[in-house]
A = this chain, B = another copy of it.
Amino acid sequence: MTAIHLSISLTTLYSIYFATPMPDKPFQIACDNCSLANLCMPMGLSQAEIQRFDHFIQREKIFHKGDTIFRQGDPFHTIAVVRSGALKLYQLDEEGELTGLQFALAGEIVGLDGIKDEQYHLSAIAIETTAICQITYQDLLHLAQEIPSLQKSLFSLFSQQLNHHYHVNLNATAEQRFAKFLLSISARVARRGYSATQFNLSMSRQDIACYLGLATETVSRLFKRFSDENILAVKKREIKIHDLRQLQIISCGHSHP
């Protein structure tokens, strides 16, 4: 088969195809056609309100693996939502020791921690290619004042974020924590309509270990153990869960009866 290589710019292609010059933001997703809208700030808003809200959203930024979104201590101005990809959020103490680590997946909001002291308390970096939507806190406050249902969904999102933090259990064993982690990722991926049993982890073993308060070796051994017990299949960072029920049982601490 012979391949024909065309050298043609996107702008030209666009204008040929649509018979009109390419606008500034040609293929951009707006809130009212975003698949995450029901998980995100505009949830519960009317069509008109969503369009009004959308007007204040910045979507230019694409971050690559390792890029910084904001740093702990930076002055706080904007709230961000992960549109696609994933972020790692972490906190260092005065000595530079890591004191906390979380992940933000598509549809999840980051930066709310900055409101109180007008500075971010966490650093955020992309752990894969990541698109984010941003809104300034000033705009958000004004909009929430004018749109009661936005105010309500913001409170709701805050509440959800609080609940999410209750899930790390200090008393759980390594096995329980790890099972709970996999279930959490599964649920978060599934919430956006993807498979709950097949996904790839964008975070390193080391990040998982830090998040769970374990050593990387322990995480590695748990992957092996669960794989040996046929609970899941793992190939690099590609995970296929075979027995979701068993994971649930393990996460509650009834692993080996």
- Could you say which of B112, B148, B159, B210 contacts A171, with CB atoms under 8 Å apart? B210
**A145-199, CB < 8 A from B:** 145, 148, 151-152, 154-163, 165-172
- CB pair A213 B171 closer than 8 Å: yes
Q: Point out the residues of chain B lying under 8 angstroms from A141, CB to CB.
A: 148, 151-152, 155
Q: Which residues on the B side are within 8 Å of A24 (C-beta)?
A: none
Query: What chain B residues lie within 8 Å of A95 (beta carbons)?
Result: 252-254
Q: Are A98 and B171 in contact (CB under 8 A)?
A: yes
Query: How many copies of this chain are found per oligomer?
Result: 2
Residues from chain B with a CB closer than 8 A to the CB of A253 are 95, 97
Q: How many angstroms from the CA of A232 to the CA of B160 in the assembled complex?
A: 38
B-side contacts of A116, CB under 8 Å: 156-157, 159-160, 163
Q: Kindly state whether residue A66 has any CB partner on chain B within 8 Å.
A: no
A212 within 8 Å of B (CB atoms): yes
- Cβ of A144 under 8 Å from chain B: yes
A141 to B115, CA, bound (A): 19
B155–A113 touching, CB < 8 Å: no
Question: Which residues in B have their C-beta under 8 angstroms from that of A252?
Answer: 93-95, 97
Q: What is the minimal beta-carbon distance from A87 to any residue of chain B, in angstroms?
A: 15
Q: Which residues from B are CB-within-8-Å of A115? A: 155-156, 158-159
Q: Which of A99, A112, A213, A253 has the most CB of B within 10 A?
A: A99
B170 in contact with A168 (CB, 8 Å):
yes
Task: Using CB atoms, name the residue of chain B closest to A210.
Answer: B171
What are 26 residue pairs bridging A and B, where the CB atoms are less than 8 Å apart in the complex? A91-B166, A95-B252, A95-B254, A99-B166, A99-B172, A100-B169, A113-B163, A114-B159, A115-B158, A115-B159, A116-B156, A116-B160, A116-B163, A121-B166, A122-B166, A141-B155, A144-B151, A154-B155, A158-B158, A158-B162, A161-B162, A162-B162, A165-B165, A170-B170, A170-B212, A171-B210
Kindly state the separation between the CA atoms of A158 and B145 in the bound complex, as whole angstroms: 17
Q: Which residues in B have their C-beta under 8 angstroms from that of A163?
A: 113, 116, 121
Neighbouring B residues of A144 by C-beta, 8 Å? 151
